[in-house]
Amino acid sequence: MTSVREWFDSGRHAVSERWHNGPRWMRWALIAAVIVFFYALPNREFYQWLGPIPTTGSNFGHVLFTVSIYVLLAVGLNIVVGFAGLLDLGYFGFFAVGAYTVAVFTSPSSDLKTLWPWMLALPLAIALTMLSGVMLGTPTLRLRGDYLAIVTLGFAEMIRVAATSSEFLKGQRGFNQIPHPPGSYPDGKPIFGVLDPRPYYWLVLTLIILVVIGVQNLNRSRVGRAWIAIREDEDAAQLMGVPTFKFKLWAFASGAAIGGLAGALFAGKQNFVSSQNLELLNSIIILAAVILGGSGNIVGAIVGGGLVAYLIERFRGIEFFGIELYEYRFMLFGLVLVVMMIFRPQGLVANRRRAAEFKDRRKEVIVGG
Amino acid sequence: MTTLLEIEDVSLLYGRIKALHGISLTVDEGEIVALIGANGAGKSTTMRAISGIRPVASGRIRFNGEDITRLRADLRVRRGLCQAPEGRGIFPGMTVLENLDMGAYTRRDRAGVARDLARVLELFPRLAERRKQVGGTLSGGEQQMLAVGRALMSQPKLLLLDEPSMGLAPMLIQQIFSIITEINEQGTTILLVEQNAQQALARAHRAYVLETGRIVKEGTGAELLHDPSVKEAYLGVA
């Protein structure tokens, strides 16, 4: 097994070497090609040409929208888990806060009857999720260890219970007729309608690109350095003068805001939000995606989020020795994760830093035990 | 000489267990002061109280004329109080240079930082050789040097060193202590926690002996080095 790993690692090193040492324009050209590919992907003329592998039985544009939402969530959770090293087990709760904020302020079934347009509710949704992140983080981020994991787990569950049982949040009946994002084609037809999922996918894709650019800049600044220091050794970071609490809260709040954005986008497309959309499992799936892809690495989070969400959809309708694979999707993911943790704990696309940290931790385990 | 650090009757709790029972000590500007004692005597705990990683239960800590008892740890660094943490307190995933850079996190004067970086690399030629290597792959001695060098990068008035000789080969211990003396001669005050009492007392101007959370003895390094009870308890000679 080691030899397989070595082979895999050496291949990866060669790729990363070429990536980092190659000319600048080549890097940009490759990034541009990838972006163009993903913009073109939902068009039937394009994906048909790629053969039977990428397509699923269901509406491919819709699948891609779901996948892109997961990617956005993975990018957001990666800030919390990957950069700052905070274990957030209830990240999907922020998605819920975002989706429900939009629903409450825009839907005619809401008691508020404000009937805002989607675009007006969007900034409020982001602000409220950020606020909920700060409220949740302020008491818990002062503590060390697993408290945060437990509190976040409780938070997501609280949101779900509130959504299920509160009269104001409409339970399973949910909110309907949530408005779509604005915009219309020259012929007057709305861009964001019910039939064509592609514009939503393109919107999310564009937002992912913008968010990634923002996160990347943040990560390269003093804030990013502080996050890495906190993740690697919180005491040492504090001893170097890093205001650890403040930066942990920042990571938590920005992660939450991205989760809220994803929720608002989801509500705007689905035009229906109910407590059935909120499953604890979703938090775990996103976390699994980040870890699988390589936490602490934006590319890793994107790959992880995309892969996990896509595979879940891809399993639909596939039978294997008479077993419906979709039914066993979570067991399969559990298995894949266990295997990953044994052979490649730093994830598929890891950075050198993360790899070194894991080695260091292993050394500690050996020394300690 | 002016007093740089003054600790008055400080007690500290770990849950319900009292780790420090009213400790008082002072460090004057320009000194090397050593804190010696057995395992569990409260040496590292005292350091944590001073650097602010653990809150104190009672008592006062004054630094440079200012009461810092309730000040956050990161703000104490900005006041000129920096600790090189015990053992593996370096950032394992960062390179040597990135680690040193983190030491200067609170500073904005680029020219000064560059000057101090050059000085640290001169003090520790070993670190200069390994500048691109990640911290986690350094040997124990190199990590220790990195921890000291990184703390120096914050331009501290008072440098707190927690067990700088822990786990090092005898030759390296010798080396790290002469570097500590050199740092001190260049003008940095040092408070040092050590199990290696022999070396610590030989280098320190003054020293305190800690036993189960209390200071039981104090004096100049030379006095304690020749004190019969210290000799018996910490220097391994009857």
DSSP reduced 3-state for B96: helix
Of A232, A238, A364, the CB nearest to B73: A238
Q: How many CB atoms lie within 10 A of CB B214?
A: 14
The model's confidence at residue A19, banded by pLDDT at 50, 70 and 90, is confident
More confident residue, A369 or A70: A70
Tell me: pLDDT of A159 over 70: yes
More confident residue, A10 or B183: B183
The model's confidence at residue A366, banded by pLDDT at 50, 70 and 90, is very low
Element spanning A120, H or E: helix A118-140
A120-124, B103-107, B167-171: least confidently modelled range: B167-171
Q: For residues A265 and A253, what is the distance between their CA atoms, to the nearest angstrom?
A: 18
pLDDT tens for each residue of A325-351: 778 878 887 888 888 888 888 888 876
The model's confidence at residue A12, banded by pLDDT at 50, 70 and 90, is low
- Residue B57 has a pLDDT of 94
What count of Cα atoms within 13 Å lies in the side-chain half-sphere of residue A350?
A: 22
Residue of B nearest to A230 (CA): B91
Q: Give residue A267's identity as a one-letter amino acid code.
A: A
Tell me: pLDDT of B47 over 70: yes
Tokens representing residue B187 in the block: 């003008």
- Residue A368 has a pLDDT of 36
Taking an 8 Å Cβ-Cβ cutoff, which residues of chain B contact chain A?
51-53, 72-75, 77-78, 82-85, 88-94, 101-103, 105-106, 134-137, 150-151, 154
Going by C-alpha positions, the residue among A243, A295, A260, A259 that lies closest to residue A86 is: A295
Interface contact flag, B136 A229, Cβ < 8 Å: no
pLDDT tens for each residue of A29-53: 999 999 999 998 888 777 777 766 6
User: What distances in angstroms separate CA A342 from CA A2, A228, B210, one per listed residue?
Assistant: 11, 24, 45
- Residue A44 has a pLDDT of 79
- Residue A338 has a pLDDT of 87
- Residue A38 has a pLDDT of 92
pLDDT above 70 as % of chain A: 89
Tell me: pLDDT of B138 over 50: yes
Q: For residues A194 and A177, what is the distance between their CA atoms, to the nearest angstrom?
A: 11
The DSSP line for B102-164 is: HHTTT---HHHHHHHHHHHHHH-HHHHHTTTSBGGGS-HHHHHHHHHHHHHTT--SEEEEE-T
| pLDDT (mean) for A230-237 | 92
CATH architecture of B3-80+156-234: 3-Layer(aba) Sandwich (3.40)
- Which residue of A219, A238, A240, A363 to mutate against B (max B Cβ within 10 Å)? A240
Listed by start position, the domains of chain A span 60-368
DSSP reduced 3-state for A315: coil
Going by C-alpha positions, the residue among B197, B81, B208, B90 that lies closest to residue B143 is: B90
Q: For residues A251 and A175, what is the distance between their CA atoms, to the nearest angstrom?
A: 31
Of B52, B102, B136, the CB nearest to A229: B102
Q: Give phi and psi for A298, each to the nearest 5.
A: -65, -45
Gap from A99 CA to chain B (nearest CA, Å): 37
Going by C-alpha positions, the residue among A228, A253, A255 that lies closest to residue A242 is: A228
Tokens representing residue A163 in the block: 């959504």
Interface contact flag, B93 A356, Cβ < 8 Å: yes
Taking an 8 Å Cβ-Cβ cutoff, which residues of chain A contact chain B?
222, 225-226, 228-229, 232-233, 235-244, 352-357, 359-360, 363-364
- Residue A261 has a pLDDT of 97
- Residue A148 has a pLDDT of 86
- Residue A7 has a pLDDT of 66
pLDDT tens for each residue of A173-216: 889 899 999 988 888 888 898 888 999 999 999 999 999 999 99
pLDDT tens for each residue of A258-282: 999 999 999 999 989 998 877 778 8
Going by C-alpha positions, the residue among A251, A272, A54 that lies closest to residue A176 is: A272
The model's confidence at residue A100, banded by pLDDT at 50, 70 and 90, is very high
ipTM: 0.90
The model's confidence at residue A369, banded by pLDDT at 50, 70 and 90, is very low
- Residue B172 has a pLDDT of 87
Of B53, B74, B134, the CB nearest to A242: B74
Q: Is A183 left (phi over 0), alpha (psi -120 to 50) or beta?
A: left
To the question of domain A60-368 being in CATH 3.30.450, the answer is: no
**Where in chain B is CATH 3.40.50.300?**
3-80+156-234
Tokens representing residue B48 in the block: 């944590």
Mean pLDDT across chain B: 92
Q: For residues B76 and A86, what is the distance between their CA atoms, to the nearest angstrom?
A: 25
Element spanning B34, H or E: strand B32-37
Task: Please enumerate in sequence order all residues whose Cβ is within 8 A of that of A86, keeping only pairs 6 or more positions apart, or say none.
Answer: A80, A141, A148, A248, A251, A252
Of B82, B94, B134, the CB nearest to A228: B94
pLDDT above 90 as % of chain A: 47
Tell me: pLDDT of A365 over 60: no
Task: Please enumerate in sequence order all residues whose Cβ is within 8 A of that of B68, keeping only pairs 6 or more positions apart, or say none.
Answer: B52, B61, B62, B76, B79, B81
Q: For residues B158 and B147, what is the distance between their CA atoms, to the nearest angstrom?
A: 15
Mean pLDDT across chain A: 86
pLDDT tens for each residue of B163-221: 988 878 888 888 899 999 999 999 999 999 998 888 899 999 999 999 999 999 999 99
Of A235, A242, A360, the CB nearest to B53: A235
Q: For residues A239 and B151, what is the distance between their CA atoms, to the nearest angstrom?
A: 9
The DSSP secondary-structure symbol of A144 reads: -
